[in-house]
Structure 1
Amino acid sequence: MLDVAIAGGGLTGHSSGNAAYLAQFSAWGQARSDHAFDSDRQNLKECLSEQDRYQLTPRPVLETVEATLDEALVFLGQLDLDMAGIAVENGGSALMLETQAPFRSFLHTLTDDVIAFNRTCCALSNVPYEHKLSNDYKQRILRGVAAGWREFSLAASRLLLSRAEARGLDLSGSHSFGELS
Protein backbone atom coordinates (compact mmCIF):
# COMPACT_ATOMS: atom_id res chain seq x y z
CA MET A 1 0.00 0.00 0.00
CA LEU A 2 1.31 3.43 -0.89
CA ASP A 3 1.95 5.98 1.81
CA VAL A 4 0.19 8.97 0.28
CA ALA A 5 -2.21 11.60 1.48
CA ILE A 6 -4.61 13.81 -0.44
CA ALA A 7 -3.75 17.46 0.16
CA GLY A 8 -4.82 20.47 -1.82
CA GLY A 9 -6.00 18.38 -4.76
CA GLY A 10 -2.64 16.71 -5.32
CA LEU A 11 -1.05 13.62 -3.87
CA THR A 12 1.79 14.29 -1.50
CA GLY A 13 4.22 11.92 0.14
CA HIS A 14 7.13 12.08 2.55
CA SER A 15 9.55 13.34 -0.12
CA SER A 16 9.09 16.41 -2.23
CA GLY A 17 9.63 16.94 -5.93
CA ASN A 18 8.74 15.17 -9.12
CA ALA A 19 11.00 12.19 -8.42
CA ALA A 20 8.93 11.28 -5.36
CA TYR A 21 5.65 11.72 -7.22
CA LEU A 22 6.86 9.66 -10.15
CA ALA A 23 8.06 6.96 -7.72
CA GLN A 24 4.54 6.91 -6.21
CA PHE A 25 3.05 6.63 -9.68
CA SER A 26 5.45 3.83 -10.58
CA ALA A 27 4.63 1.89 -7.40
CA TRP A 28 0.92 2.39 -8.03
CA GLY A 29 1.32 1.19 -11.63
CA GLN A 30 3.23 -1.90 -10.55
CA ALA A 31 0.57 -2.76 -7.96
CA ARG A 32 -2.19 -2.44 -10.58
CA SER A 33 -0.19 -4.46 -13.09
CA ASP A 34 0.18 -7.25 -10.56
CA HIS A 35 -3.63 -7.52 -10.31
CA ALA A 36 -4.45 -7.09 -14.01
CA PHE A 37 -4.50 -10.81 -14.79
CA ASP A 38 -6.98 -11.40 -11.95
CA SER A 39 -9.14 -8.62 -13.37
CA ASP A 40 -8.99 -10.20 -16.83
CA ARG A 41 -10.07 -13.59 -15.45
CA GLN A 42 -12.97 -11.93 -13.61
CA ASN A 43 -14.04 -10.19 -16.84
CA LEU A 44 -13.78 -13.54 -18.66
CA LYS A 45 -15.93 -15.26 -16.01
CA GLU A 46 -18.60 -12.60 -16.48
CA CYS A 47 -18.59 -13.16 -20.26
CA LEU A 48 -18.84 -16.92 -19.77
CA SER A 49 -21.66 -16.59 -17.23
CA GLU A 50 -23.60 -14.49 -19.73
CA GLN A 51 -22.93 -17.24 -22.28
CA ASP A 52 -21.63 -14.61 -24.67
CA ARG A 53 -18.91 -16.34 -26.66
CA TYR A 54 -18.18 -13.43 -28.98
CA GLN A 55 -14.52 -12.42 -28.61
CA LEU A 56 -14.07 -14.12 -25.24
CA THR A 57 -10.39 -13.27 -25.14
CA PRO A 58 -10.14 -9.74 -26.58
CA ARG A 59 -13.05 -8.19 -24.68
CA PRO A 60 -11.81 -9.05 -21.18
CA VAL A 61 -8.22 -8.13 -22.08
CA LEU A 62 -9.20 -4.77 -23.53
CA GLU A 63 -11.57 -4.03 -20.63
CA THR A 64 -8.73 -4.74 -18.21
CA VAL A 65 -6.22 -2.64 -20.15
CA GLU A 66 -8.61 0.30 -20.53
CA ALA A 67 -9.69 0.24 -16.89
CA THR A 68 -6.10 0.07 -15.65
CA LEU A 69 -4.89 2.86 -17.91
CA ASP A 70 -7.95 5.03 -17.15
CA GLU A 71 -7.20 4.66 -13.43
CA ALA A 72 -3.58 5.57 -14.15
CA LEU A 73 -4.69 8.81 -15.80
CA VAL A 74 -6.79 9.70 -12.77
CA PHE A 75 -3.88 8.97 -10.44
CA LEU A 76 -1.47 10.95 -12.64
CA GLY A 77 -3.90 13.88 -12.60
CA GLN A 78 -3.80 13.91 -8.80
CA LEU A 79 -0.03 14.24 -8.62
CA ASP A 80 1.17 17.75 -7.83
CA LEU A 81 3.98 17.65 -10.37
CA ASP A 82 6.14 20.74 -10.74
CA MET A 83 6.07 21.44 -14.44
CA ALA A 84 8.50 24.38 -14.28
CA GLY A 85 11.61 23.48 -16.19
CA ILE A 86 10.06 20.38 -17.79
CA ALA A 87 10.75 20.54 -21.50
CA VAL A 88 8.27 19.84 -24.25
CA GLU A 89 9.91 17.58 -26.79
CA ASN A 90 8.32 16.59 -30.09
CA GLY A 91 4.98 17.90 -28.91
CA GLY A 92 4.95 15.96 -25.62
CA SER A 93 6.12 16.40 -22.07
CA ALA A 94 9.63 15.24 -21.21
CA LEU A 95 7.99 13.37 -18.31
CA MET A 96 6.32 10.92 -20.70
CA LEU A 97 9.02 8.24 -20.44
CA GLU A 98 8.66 8.17 -16.65
CA THR A 99 4.88 8.23 -16.98
CA GLN A 100 4.89 5.25 -19.34
CA ALA A 101 7.56 3.28 -17.49
CA PRO A 102 5.30 1.45 -15.00
CA PHE A 103 3.24 0.02 -17.86
CA ARG A 104 5.88 -0.98 -20.42
CA SER A 105 5.99 -4.64 -19.47
CA PHE A 106 2.42 -4.70 -18.13
CA LEU A 107 0.80 -5.00 -21.55
CA HIS A 108 3.10 -7.77 -22.78
CA THR A 109 2.91 -9.70 -19.54
CA LEU A 110 -0.88 -9.48 -19.45
CA THR A 111 -1.35 -10.70 -23.01
CA ASP A 112 1.22 -13.50 -22.56
CA ASP A 113 -0.48 -14.62 -19.33
CA VAL A 114 -3.92 -14.58 -20.95
CA ILE A 115 -2.76 -16.64 -23.92
CA ALA A 116 -1.12 -19.19 -21.62
CA PHE A 117 -4.23 -19.32 -19.40
CA ASN A 118 -6.52 -19.90 -22.38
CA ARG A 119 -4.56 -23.02 -23.35
CA THR A 120 -5.28 -24.59 -19.97
CA CYS A 121 -8.77 -23.23 -19.25
CA CYS A 122 -11.35 -26.01 -19.20
CA ALA A 123 -14.21 -23.57 -19.77
CA LEU A 124 -12.59 -22.45 -23.02
CA SER A 125 -11.83 -25.96 -24.27
CA ASN A 126 -15.33 -26.01 -25.80
CA VAL A 127 -14.49 -22.88 -27.80
CA PRO A 128 -11.50 -24.01 -29.89
CA TYR A 129 -10.65 -20.60 -31.41
CA GLU A 130 -10.45 -19.15 -27.87
CA HIS A 131 -8.69 -22.14 -26.33
CA LYS A 132 -5.86 -22.17 -28.84
CA LEU A 133 -5.56 -18.70 -30.31
CA SER A 134 -4.53 -18.39 -33.94
CA ASN A 135 -1.72 -16.00 -34.81
CA ASP A 136 -4.20 -13.73 -36.62
CA TYR A 137 -6.45 -13.61 -33.53
CA LYS A 138 -3.46 -12.82 -31.30
CA GLN A 139 -2.47 -10.00 -33.65
CA ARG A 140 -5.98 -8.51 -33.45
CA ILE A 141 -5.77 -8.60 -29.66
CA LEU A 142 -2.34 -6.96 -29.70
CA ARG A 143 -3.57 -4.24 -32.08
CA GLY A 144 -6.41 -3.49 -29.65
CA VAL A 145 -3.98 -3.34 -26.74
CA ALA A 146 -1.66 -1.07 -28.77
CA ALA A 147 -4.59 1.27 -29.50
CA GLY A 148 -5.35 1.48 -25.77
CA TRP A 149 -1.67 2.21 -25.05
CA ARG A 150 -1.63 4.93 -27.70
CA GLU A 151 -4.78 6.55 -26.24
CA PHE A 152 -3.28 6.45 -22.75
CA SER A 153 0.00 7.97 -23.94
CA LEU A 154 -1.74 10.79 -25.81
CA ALA A 155 -4.08 11.52 -22.89
CA ALA A 156 -1.19 11.51 -20.40
CA SER A 157 0.78 13.88 -22.61
CA ARG A 158 -2.22 16.22 -22.95
CA LEU A 159 -2.68 16.11 -19.19
CA LEU A 160 0.93 17.00 -18.48
CA LEU A 161 0.98 19.75 -21.12
CA SER A 162 -2.27 21.25 -19.83
CA ARG A 163 -0.84 21.33 -16.29
CA ALA A 164 2.17 23.24 -17.58
CA GLU A 165 -0.05 25.68 -19.46
CA ALA A 166 -2.38 26.08 -16.47
CA ARG A 167 0.57 27.11 -14.37
CA GLY A 168 1.41 29.76 -16.94
CA LEU A 169 4.63 28.15 -18.10
CA ASP A 170 5.97 29.37 -21.42
CA LEU A 171 5.94 26.46 -23.86
CA SER A 172 6.67 28.60 -26.92
CA GLY A 173 10.39 27.79 -26.97
CA SER A 174 9.81 24.05 -26.83
CA HIS A 175 10.33 21.77 -29.79
CA SER A 176 7.24 20.26 -31.33
CA PHE A 177 6.20 18.25 -34.36
CA GLY A 178 6.27 20.16 -37.59
CA GLU A 179 8.78 22.78 -36.51
CA LEU A 180 11.66 23.45 -38.80
CA SER A 181 15.14 23.74 -37.34
Structure 2
Amino acid sequence: MPPEPINSQSFKYFQDYLDQHKSRMKTDYQQRLAQDLSKQQWDGCFQRNVLAVLADTYTQSLAFLRSLPFQTGGMAVEQGMSVLTRQLLPIFDGFVDEFLLFAVDKHRTSCALSNFPDEHKPSHDYVNQVKREIAALWRDFALNANGFFLECP
Protein backbone atom coordinates (compact mmCIF):
# COMPACT_ATOMS: atom_id res chain seq x y z
CA MET A 1 0.00 0.00 0.00
CA PRO A 2 1.40 3.46 -0.85
CA PRO A 3 2.44 5.63 2.12
CA GLU A 4 -0.12 8.42 1.69
CA PRO A 5 -3.28 6.47 2.65
CA ILE A 6 -1.52 4.89 5.63
CA ASN A 7 -0.09 8.21 6.80
CA SER A 8 -3.36 10.06 6.25
CA GLN A 9 -5.26 7.46 8.26
CA SER A 10 -2.69 7.62 11.06
CA PHE A 11 -2.98 11.40 11.21
CA LYS A 12 -6.77 11.04 11.35
CA TYR A 13 -6.43 8.65 14.31
CA PHE A 14 -4.05 11.08 15.97
CA GLN A 15 -6.41 14.02 15.44
CA ASP A 16 -9.27 12.00 16.95
CA TYR A 17 -7.07 11.04 19.90
CA LEU A 18 -6.10 14.65 20.51
CA ASP A 19 -9.71 15.84 20.27
CA GLN A 20 -10.75 13.28 22.89
CA HIS A 21 -7.76 14.08 25.07
CA LYS A 22 -8.80 17.72 25.47
CA SER A 23 -11.62 16.85 27.88
CA ARG A 24 -9.29 14.60 29.89
CA MET A 25 -6.87 17.50 30.20
CA LYS A 26 -9.57 19.68 31.71
CA THR A 27 -10.58 16.95 34.15
CA ASP A 28 -6.95 16.35 35.08
CA TYR A 29 -6.42 20.08 35.64
CA GLN A 30 -9.50 20.36 37.85
CA GLN A 31 -8.36 17.37 39.92
CA ARG A 32 -4.84 18.75 40.33
CA LEU A 33 -6.19 22.16 41.31
CA ALA A 34 -8.61 20.63 43.83
CA GLN A 35 -5.78 18.56 45.28
CA ASP A 36 -3.59 21.65 45.64
CA LEU A 37 -6.37 23.60 47.30
CA SER A 38 -7.15 20.78 49.71
CA LYS A 39 -3.49 20.85 50.75
CA GLN A 40 -3.45 24.66 50.83
CA GLN A 41 -0.81 24.73 48.08
CA TRP A 42 -2.17 27.68 46.13
CA ASP A 43 1.10 29.50 45.54
CA GLY A 44 2.12 28.82 41.93
CA CYS A 45 -0.73 26.37 41.36
CA PHE A 46 -1.60 27.81 37.94
CA GLN A 47 1.92 27.38 36.64
CA ARG A 48 2.53 24.03 38.30
CA ASN A 49 -0.71 22.44 37.14
CA VAL A 50 -0.73 23.83 33.61
CA LEU A 51 2.80 22.57 33.05
CA ALA A 52 2.09 19.19 34.62
CA VAL A 53 -1.01 18.60 32.50
CA LEU A 54 0.71 19.67 29.30
CA ALA A 55 3.84 17.63 30.05
CA ASP A 56 1.63 14.56 30.57
CA THR A 57 -0.33 15.38 27.42
CA TYR A 58 2.76 15.69 25.25
CA THR A 59 4.23 12.47 26.70
CA GLN A 60 1.01 10.55 26.12
CA SER A 61 0.54 12.08 22.67
CA LEU A 62 4.04 11.07 21.63
CA ALA A 63 3.44 7.53 22.88
CA PHE A 64 0.18 7.36 20.92
CA LEU A 65 1.86 8.77 17.81
CA ARG A 66 4.57 6.10 18.06
CA SER A 67 1.88 3.40 18.21
CA LEU A 68 0.53 4.42 14.79
CA PRO A 69 1.83 3.10 11.48
CA PHE A 70 3.65 5.59 9.28
CA GLN A 71 5.57 5.05 6.10
CA THR A 72 8.32 7.51 5.37
CA GLY A 73 10.11 5.84 2.49
CA GLY A 74 10.83 8.48 -0.12
CA MET A 75 9.40 11.27 2.05
CA ALA A 76 11.24 14.57 1.93
CA VAL A 77 13.37 15.87 4.76
CA GLU A 78 13.90 19.63 4.67
CA GLN A 79 16.33 21.34 7.02
CA GLY A 80 16.29 18.28 9.27
CA MET A 81 12.48 18.15 9.48
CA SER A 82 10.41 15.33 8.08
CA VAL A 83 7.54 16.32 5.84
CA LEU A 84 5.38 14.30 8.26
CA THR A 85 6.41 16.57 11.13
CA ARG A 86 5.21 19.51 9.06
CA GLN A 87 1.86 17.72 8.74
CA LEU A 88 1.67 16.85 12.44
CA LEU A 89 2.40 20.20 14.05
CA PRO A 90 -0.63 22.09 12.66
CA ILE A 91 -2.91 19.53 14.35
CA PHE A 92 -1.98 21.32 17.57
CA ASP A 93 -2.88 24.83 16.34
CA GLY A 94 -4.84 26.61 19.07
CA PHE A 95 -4.44 23.64 21.41
CA VAL A 96 -2.46 25.40 24.16
CA ASP A 97 -4.42 28.64 23.89
CA GLU A 98 -7.70 26.78 24.35
CA PHE A 99 -6.35 24.96 27.40
CA LEU A 100 -4.92 28.15 28.93
CA LEU A 101 -8.25 29.93 28.52
CA PHE A 102 -9.91 27.07 30.37
CA ALA A 103 -7.33 27.16 33.20
CA VAL A 104 -7.46 30.95 33.60
CA ASP A 105 -11.25 30.84 33.65
CA LYS A 106 -11.14 28.08 36.27
CA HIS A 107 -8.97 30.27 38.46
CA ARG A 108 -11.07 33.39 37.95
CA THR A 109 -14.24 31.58 38.97
CA SER A 110 -12.70 29.81 41.96
CA CYS A 111 -13.94 31.15 45.28
CA ALA A 112 -11.16 29.23 47.03
CA LEU A 113 -8.54 31.27 45.14
CA SER A 114 -10.21 34.65 45.63
CA ASN A 115 -7.93 35.45 48.60
CA PHE A 116 -4.85 34.89 46.45
CA PRO A 117 -4.94 37.53 43.71
CA ASP A 118 -1.90 36.24 41.79
CA GLU A 119 -3.57 32.86 41.37
CA HIS A 120 -7.18 34.01 41.25
CA LYS A 121 -6.57 36.33 38.32
CA PRO A 122 -3.25 35.37 36.73
CA SER A 123 -1.59 38.48 35.31
CA HIS A 124 -0.52 38.84 31.72
CA ASP A 125 3.13 38.56 32.84
CA TYR A 126 2.42 35.40 34.83
CA VAL A 127 0.60 33.79 31.91
CA ASN A 128 3.45 34.76 29.55
CA GLN A 129 5.98 33.24 31.94
CA VAL A 130 3.99 29.99 31.84
CA LYS A 131 3.79 30.22 28.04
CA ARG A 132 7.59 30.39 27.84
CA GLU A 133 7.83 27.18 29.85
CA ILE A 134 5.14 25.59 27.67
CA ALA A 135 7.26 26.50 24.64
CA ALA A 136 10.07 24.32 26.02
CA LEU A 137 7.66 21.39 26.45
CA TRP A 138 6.35 21.93 22.93
CA ARG A 139 9.87 22.10 21.49
CA ASP A 140 10.76 18.78 23.14
CA PHE A 141 7.57 17.16 21.83
CA ALA A 142 8.14 18.45 18.29
CA LEU A 143 11.78 17.33 18.26
CA ASN A 144 10.86 13.88 19.57
CA ALA A 145 8.04 13.53 17.04
CA ASN A 146 10.40 14.59 14.27
CA GLY A 147 12.96 12.06 15.49
CA PHE A 148 10.29 9.36 15.37
CA PHE A 149 9.38 10.23 11.79
CA LEU A 150 13.03 10.31 10.73
CA GLU A 151 13.52 6.81 12.19
CA CYS A 152 10.41 5.29 10.59
CA PRO A 153 11.01 2.88 7.71
Q: TM-score of the superposition, structure 1-length normalised?
A: 0.77
Q: 2:121 aligned with 1:132, yes or no?
A: yes
Higher helix proportion (structure 1 or 2): 2
Structure whose CA Rg is larger: 1
Q: 2:85 aligns with which of 73, 76, 96?
A: 96
Q: 1:32 aligns with which of 10, 16, 21?
A: 21
- Residue identity over aligned pairs, in percent, reads 32
Unaligned runs of 5+ in 1: 1-15, 168-181
1:115 matched to 2:104? yes
Residue 34 of structure 1: how far off its partner (Å): 3.1
After superposition, the CA RMSD in angstroms is 1.4
The one-character-per-residue Cα deviations of 1:75-122 (angstroms, maximum 9, x if unpaired) are: 111111011121111111111132223322110100111112211111
Is 1:161–2:153 an aligned residue pair?
Answer: no
Alignment of 1:60-79 (within 5 A): 60-79=49-68
| 1:148 matched to 2:149 | no
In structure 2, the residue matched to 1:48 is 37
Q: Report if the CA contact (8 A) 2:43-2:119 is conserved.
A: no
Q: CA deviation at 1:23?
A: 0.5
Distance 2:95 2:32 in 1: 17
Structure 2 counterpart SS, 1:100: helix
Higher relative contact order (CA 8 A, sep 6+): 2
Do 2:42 and 2:113's aligned partners in 1 also have CA atoms closer than 8 Å?
A: no
1:89 and 1:133 map into 2 onto residues whose CA distance is: 40
Runs of 4+ in structure 1 deviating by more than 4 angstroms, as ranges, are: none
Per the TM alignment, residue 71 of structure 1 is displaced from its structure 2 partner at its CA by 0.5
CA distance in 1, matches of 2:115, 2:55: 28
How far residue 127 of structure 1 moved from its aligned partner, in angstroms, is 1.2
> For each residue in 1:15-55, what CA deviation from the matched residue of structure 2 results, as whole angstroms up to 9, or x when unmatched?
x5111111101111111123322211111112222222231
- In 1, the alpha carbon distance for the partners of 2:65 and 2:143 equals 13
Q: Residues 59-84 of structure 1, C-alpha deviation per residue, up to 9 Å, x if partnerless?
A: 11111111111111001111110111
Structure 1 Cα separation of the partners of residues 119 and 139 of structure 2: 26
C-alpha distance in 1, partners of 2:121/2:131?
Answer: 16
